Structure 1
Amino acid sequence: MSMDLEQCYKELEGDYAEVMRRLRKEELVHRFLIKFLESDEVQRIDEALQERDYEKAFDLVHTLKGETMTLGLGRLSKSSIILCEQLRYKIYGEEMLQQFRKVRMDYQKTIDIIRKYRDSQP
């Protein structure tokens, strides 16, 4: 069963209309979504947090936040914004780690949806 880009965005809890206003062409949105599958920021954030390198973690989360906002990846964008602000204001500890777990979970859901979309294309 084929999934179109608009259906994909609905599952991502993203704003399809806003992404189309920003990037203007479905083919461009499609290409960037597929490219997002190569993202390894979440793994790198995990490593930085384990090393307690919060500055590096902040830089990585900030990059993830920017990518997800540009691509309109609703659910993942919202959770990465919160984590970014926690790291920006040095709110470390269990609450921040809990938010990272949410980001990791949202990332996995996002990747799964994008793969489903990609694999449904003719």
Structure 2
Amino acid sequence: MVLNEAMNELNMDSEKILRRFGGNSALLHKFMKKFIDDETFNKLAEALSNKQADEIEIQAHTLKGIAMNLGFDALGAKSAAIVECMRSNDSECLCIEKAGPLFDSAREEHEKIINVLNQMD
């Protein structure tokens, strides 16, 4: 799969993201492939498993930034929802409980992205 096919498969705004990378599709391709090895999602999963509220917020916020910078807008939005949940005025336990289903949705999107990136040439 070539870069344009991957961007279409992931419903990316190709014009916007290519502008962000100065029109350099090779650079975009390189950073998209690097996302496969990024550990932020795993750290978020671990923080949720360990019920570490502060770490959940940090990792979700980091994932949001990475995703949005690479044009993975759906993952960015799902990560942002986790951040917002963790920053709500709810108790820490309730925040963590609410973050679980949001994380499940983010996991589906993350898996989709990784599957497409693994198919890229």
The TM-score normalised by the length of structure 2 is 0.87
Write the distance in 2 (CA, Å) between the matches of 1:23 and 1:74.
16
Amino acid of the structure 2 residue aligned with 1:68: A
Farther-moved stretch of structure 1 (79-88 vs 17-26): 79-88
Aligned partner of residue 52 in structure 1, secondary structure: coil
Partner of 2:2: 4
Output one character per residue of 1:87-117: Cα deviation in whole Å (capped at 9) or x when no partner.
2225515432100111111111110011111
Q: Partners in 2 of 1:16 and 1:38 — Cα distance?
A: 22
TM-score (norm 1): 0.87
For the residues of structure 1 that align with 2:80 and 2:4, how far apart are their CA atoms? 23
In the alignment, structure 1 residue 60 sits paired with structure 2 residue 59: yes
Aligned match of 2:29: 30
Structure 2 runs not aligned, ≥5 long? none
The alignment-based identity, stated in percent, is 28
- Is 2:61 aligned against 1:72? no
Q: Take 2:28 and 2:35, find their aligned partners in 1: how far apart are those partners?
A: 10
Separation (CA, whole Å) in 2 of partners of 1:50 and 1:56:
11
Counterpart selection for 1:96 from 96, 99, 106 = 99
Match for residue 15 of structure 2?
A: 17
8 Å CA contact retained: 1:9, 1:73 = no
The runs of 5 or more residues in structure 1 that have no matched partner are none
More relative contact order in 1 or in 2 (CA 8 Å, sep 6+)?
Answer: 1
1:6 maps to amino acid? N
> Match of 1:52, as an amino acid?
K
